[in-house]
Structure 1
Amino acid sequence: MWRAASSLELLPIGTKTELGEALVKRVRTGDYKESELWCLSRLGARKLFYGPINLVVPPVTVTRWVEALLKISSAGDALAAMARRTEDPTRDLPAQTHEAVKSRLQSMPHADRLLAVLEGEEEDDRTLGRIFGEELPSGLVLVVE
C-alpha cells in the first residue's frame, strides 16, 4: 500500500504530508522496511515525475524528513531525491540542509551518482528505472515535459 500511495503524485499536499509523517515515525522507531525509504522519497521529491509543481510538499516539511534520514546509512537515494536542487526557491530545501545532505552522500557508496541526482544532473534511463522500479518495455518511450 505504501508504494501505491507514494506513487500518486496528484494527491493533495496535506495527504502527502500525513503519509510522509507516518513513514518518518516508522523510520525513527526503527520499524520500517527499506522500500519505505523509497516511498518517503517519492512523497518528498522536489521534482515530481508527472505531477505539477504546486503539489510538491513544502521544503519546511521535507527538511524535517531529511533530518530524520541523515542518520540512516541506506537512505542515500531517498536523501538525494528529497534534497534535489531544482533552482526554484519555492521547492529547494534550505542551503544548510542541502549541504548536510551533500556531506552525507559524499561518504556513501555510489557517491558520484547520488551527488549527480542531488544537483539535478542525472536524467537518464537508469533514473527512470529507479523511479518505477523496473525498466520500460522495449520501444516504449516516456516523454517528460
Structure 2
Amino acid sequence: MTLARWELAQWGHLDPDKRLDQALASFRAQCGEGGLPSVFVAMAGDAPVGMASLIDDDMQDRAELNPWLASVYVRPEWRGQGIASRLVRRVEQEAREHGIATLHLFTPVRQALYCRLGWQAFEECVYRGEAVTIMRRELGESA
C-alpha cells in the first residue's frame, strides 16, 4: 500500500483518474519471480524508504521504446545517501539478467542523476501536459 501511495503522490498528476486501489493492483501485478515486470524496494529495517520498477510500458504513446525504468522514488529524509542510484543499478542488473539490452525512462527534472549513472538524453517531449526528457541506457555499457 505504501508504494502505491508514493506513486500517486509523486506521479498521480500524469493520470488524474487513477485511484489508490488501481495503483495497488498495478504494483501487485509487477511483483513476482523477477524479470519484466519487477519492483524493488529499499528498506531501512522494516520500513520502506525507496522504490524503483522495471516495467514494459511507462509511456503509452511510445510503445516502441519498451521496457522502462520507472517509479524511482526515495523518501525525502533518505535522499542524498545513494539509495536512488542503488535502486537504478538494481533495475539495470535485473534487466541485463533477463536479456534486456536497452532501457528507457522519462523524467521532468532528474536528468543529472541519470546522466551520472550512464543514461543519455534521447528526446524532449510533452507527456500528459508535462515537459519531460526521455532517456536511454544501453545495458552493454559498463556500470
* TM bucket normalised to smaller: 0.3 to 0.5
TM-score normalized by the length of structure 2:
0.33
